[in-house]
Chain A
Amino acid sequence: MVFSSIEKVQDNLKAHRYIADRSLATVIYLAVSLGKPLLLEGEAGVGKTDVAKVMSAALDTRLIRLQCYEGLDVNTALYEWNYPKQVLRIRLEEGAQRSKEDLGNIIFSEDYLIRRPLLEALQSDQDQPPVLLIDEIDRSDEEFEAFLLEILSDFQITIPEIGTIRAKHRPYVVLTSNRTRELHDALKRRCLYHWIDYPTFEKEYQILVAKVPQVREVLARQICGFMQVVRKMDFYKKPGIAETLDWASALIVLHKDELDGDVVQETLGCIFKYREDISKMEAEIMGKKIDLEKVLEDYLARHFG
């Protein structure tokens, strides 16, 4: 078993270039061994969705993803009959001598069923259960949340024309939420919970080196140090790890080996996604409110002697 101990979880995720701290590794380990869904919350861009992706890679199994949005309903999440195909079949059968019952059984068989992500996760034939990622559950509405409860507690669904479909293996379920609204207690109660925080300097450095191997050591440290400072400041949308990685890649493409005021200013678009935040940061750099060089030196000195 790939995830047979907490250390193995951590190592395996690391082998797939995901740096998980002990707490996250413990929760993933428990979710896999207990067969409980895992609810991940955290700010945008801290790697919630990536947990599911990397889990499926490490477990060598399929990733089935359901992106939530308001108005998401059973037909798009679970299953739907392929009506045009059914109609065509009826037409083809017009000349044939087949009883109505038989025809009914044919067009309401699994061949005419369109599997949506949830059904697919339940019916997966692989030896390994798939990873089911229910992304941004906070965007769906209460109706869908209630429906999800049923699936997550029994891992079975009933299709009137076919019968009850039970999961062969319980899929590994990962739910993510950006907390645009509070989730219902009943849903939370069914899940193991973990909050993914912004990374520490060390963790971010490890992630950066793992994900963008081309980055030079000095630049990587400067980037991470800079990010730590920026996240302590007040912005509408603070940069996450996703932004760090984007920025590092951009700097490499631009052949920059070190950070300075100009470089930062030119590439602010990688770090901030709101105009207000960009102009605020520009003002801070221009007005020397934050002394960039000093900030970077301080950080390097503190962390690397």
Chain B
Amino acid sequence: MARPFRELSSPRPKITPAQIQKAVEEVEPGERSGMLGNLLAFCRVLRDLGLDSTAGRILDICRSLEHIDICNRAQFYYALRANLVSSHEDMEVFEQVFSLFWRLPEEEEAENQGAGKKESEEEGDECCEQMPPKQVFVEDNSENGSKDEGEEISSVAYSAEEVLFNKDFSIFTSDEVTSIREVISQIAKRLSTRMSRRKKADSKAREIDLRRTFRKNMKYGGEIIELARRKKRIKKTKVILLCDVSGSMDCYSKFLVQFIFGLQNELTNVETFVFSTSITRVSHLLERRSLDDALAEVGKIVNHWSGGTNIGASFNVFNEGLGKGMFSGKTIVMIFSDGWDRGDTKLLEAEMKKLRKRAFRILWLNPLLGSSSYQPLCEGIKTALPYVDLFMPLNNLESLVTLGATLDSFTR
């Protein structure tokens, strides 16, 4: 029962009371004229907080209100809730917004008089809570910093500037290659051969499809001459691989390249993108016979290899452009990144939200997770984690095997 990864949980991170307060306070008094104006403003606040209050729902609320006693606060509350909330997690947010928004005038007054000082104190506290935690990573001083501190540090540091250069892959050699390829092909097989409960027609299958047999033989006057057969369909899982190739990932790039190349070649349904400060689709470049050819090609085209990191902006380009139309019902998104991010966390969060909506599963494979002392403290990971179904290490062969085993139960 205990799973090695995060449970499938609420896709939305917790909204703090402060956020709700702010959202409600931001409503212009002019907007709140009459019942309809108030209602629209209320719905807009909820939409800003991530609830799904569409125009259709607002119309339904208006229809609902005809049937209830609007002066009865409880009825009004339940009617709005039934229409606007569609998951248990949203109920709390709804309730808080409702109680703040639909306040009686006297309540508001009392609050304003009594709680002047208290409020400011509270605000102070919340500010503290909201403060991003002190950054725990080492700032990149690579120019004057001593090199002998080793790879550990440089691997967890930002590259301060985008380094644009063509990386030379030609000297790539590794003993691990064969075993990595083996494990990857096992993973690929697992992903591409899930049995569906739905069946499809197949003349060579064993099972007879009675429904189609009768239908087919109607033309012979009901004489059964041809048999129709069927078998279980194979569900093909689509995989979208988003790989971080920024400087902080450099020491994993050998492995990464193997991983991408292996998956791309074993699975028919895979799209690969590499990102650092921008994002590039490389799937078509990897469809070469040999790894060397593919790498040469990638090296030529991807000019942001070993650059800085801006995950949010990269994902934005992916969501709004490159990735459009790439999602089907059961698409798994694998993000291979350490999560060190220089970009805007707000943007990253918004993009993760979009990704969450479209992907069947999101896996975050983190090479740093392999070290036992690692905790997901850096902003990038912290922002993204609530939207991720599975957060796993991927830094060596062993973790790759674990990934394969986990995927099996996970992609169902």
Contacts and interface: CB of A to CB of B under 8 A. Distances in A.
Contacts of A29: 67-68
A185 interface: yes
Identify whether the interface residues of A are mostly helix, strand, loop, or mixed: helix
Interface residues of B, number: 37
A142 B329 contact: yes
Contacts of B1: 236, 276
A26 B79 contact: yes
Contacts of A194: 82
A45 B102 CA distance: 34
Interface stretch (A68-76, A165-173, A215-223, A280-288): A68-76
Given A73-B198, A86-B218, A189-B54, A30 B74 contact: no
Interface in B57-88: 57, 60, 63-64, 67-68, 74-75, 78-79, 81-83, 85-88
B86 A193 contact: yes
The residue in B52, B86, B357 that gathers the most chain A C-beta atoms within 10 A of its C-beta is: B86
> Chain B at the A interface: mostly helix, strand, loop or mixed?
helix
Contacts of A182: 11, 87
Contact of B78 (A27, A71, A84): A27
A39 interface: yes
Contact of A27 (B60, B63, B82, B91): B82
B141 interface: no
B197 A30 contact: no
A148 interface: no
Given A75-B211, A189-B57, A236-B1, A34 B218 contact: no
B329 A22 contact: no
B222 A87 contact: yes
Contacts of B330: 142
A189 B87 CA distance: 11
B67 A94 contact: no
B210 interface: yes
Contacts of B196: 71
Given A189-B57, A193-B85, A195-B88, A26 B68 contact: yes
B254 interface: no
Contacts of B215: 81, 83
Given A71-B198, A87-B214, A33 B67 contact: yes
Nearest to B212: A83
B78 A90 contact: no
A135 interface: no
Nearest to A80: B211
Interface residues of A, number: 41
B114 interface: no
Among B74, B196, B215, B222, chain A packs the most CB atoms within 10 A around the CB of B222
Interface string A62-96: 00000000110101000011011011101100100
B355 to A, nearest CB: 15
A138 interface: no
Contact of B60 (A34, A81, A83, A185): A34
A71 B60 contact: no
Q: Which 5 A-B pairs have the closest CB atoms?
A: A71-B197, A83-B214, A87-B222, A26-B78, A188-B86
Interface of A: 6, 22-23, 26-27, 29-30, 33-34, 36, 39, 41, 70-71, 73, 75, 80-81, 83-84, 86-88, 90-91, 94, 141-143, 179, 182, 185, 188-189, 191-195, 236, 276
